[in-house]
Structure 1
Amino acid sequence: MIQLERIEQSYGEMTVLHDINLQAEAGELIALVGPSGSGKSTLLQLLGLLQTPTKGAVYFDDTCVSEASGEERRRLRLEEVGFIFQESHLVPFLTAQEQLELVAKEAGRTVDTVAALAMFGLEHRKDHLPHALSGGERQRIAIARAFVNDPQLVLADEPTASLDYANGRRVMELLQRQAHESNKTIIVITHDERMLDVCDRIWRIEDGKIHTA
């Protein structure tokens, strides 16, 4: 579904990623792990089409997108890529349902946002503002928001870091179910080794080089 071929990413004289070759298929939940400064976030930005590589090629559904225009990449991100972050980053004055409606409107799609919330057990919270929700609920709404446009690829940067183990585990199991049942490709940066058994594969990165399992 997404493939990196001989990727190198440099900033000035500093090379962050070295000769990265990866392929992720639909229906997989993949963990991306490694120490701080190893290149995880840079790799996630390349996968999410937020950066272009210094060398190499990025393929999305067999189409090379490395040299696509900025507008083409923006449109592809909006329609086919979902992002989940360590903090939920919900708009404080929008209800749970309105958070999803905002994203759907931006993409020009008509979405049953209540049904989208129900997929994550949150339909009863649709009229609540973020301050009235628990940390776990806010993160699940952020996940629902990432999936509202039915993206092929979802990228999550430490989505369980601000949660306790029970809520973090629930989030990872939600992501696993979405990958398997909806045939999505989901890639998650995590430092929590206790979550790795939920994942189908593990990519380990160190000093800008990748090892897969």
Structure 2
Amino acid sequence: MSIGEVLAQLRVEFPDTTISKLRFLEAEGLVEPERSPSGYRKYSWADVDRLRFVLAAQRDQYLPLRVIREQLLERDTAAAPPQRPALVAVGPDGAVPGRTDSEPVPVDERLGRAELIARTGIEESTLAELERLGVLGSGASGWYDGDAVIIARAVAGLATYGLEPRHLRGFRSAADREVGLFAQLVAPLARQKDPAARARADELARELASLSQQLHAALVRVGLRSALGG
């Protein structure tokens, strides 16, 4: 298939995919299409499956290319059949320990208020308080996206241990500080008109978010061990 035919295939499931994005993934070594004698890219169905794996990992689990590359290597080595990306130990997958509703959530999902409550098990009063505190919101569109689902699930899980929305304001403040810091690194790429630069900006944002989550989880573990005398 040509790159245009591949794009048509992938846009059914990943409508935001562009030719620049496919070229970027090729430049990063995640897919290696053959070349015709005249230099045109020629993709196989195996290449398309590989691209679906990468795009699903980015969309559903926000995995950085470094982690996706490792998963692809493991898959290639084991010669396993095509599958959705595996969850990593620390990643924004929306899973809450002890809960069974842990399927990946596409970030571009759109839910109404009632659907968000039914989907996550969060209380209406809790949702209202989270919005008042700025921890969660529907945005200007009035719809809740995939990140809102992840936040609501996490809050519902923490509530089972007695934590209330007012205890979570520190999480919002800490996240805002990280956003300000990381934006300084990503903004120069995002402002460029080159679509490839925009793709690199998106990947850098995912990488920074992943590293931040790993750092946060490790610091919490270290702190708890210290607090418990471990």
TM-score strictly above 0.5: no
Using the size of structure 1 for normalisation, the TM-score is 0.25
The structure with the greater share of residues assigned to strand is 1
Using the size of structure 2 for normalisation, the TM-score is 0.24
Q: Which structure would you say has the larger Rg?
A: 2
Which protein, 1 or 2, shows the higher relative CO under an 8 Å CA cutoff with sep ≥ 6?
Answer: 1
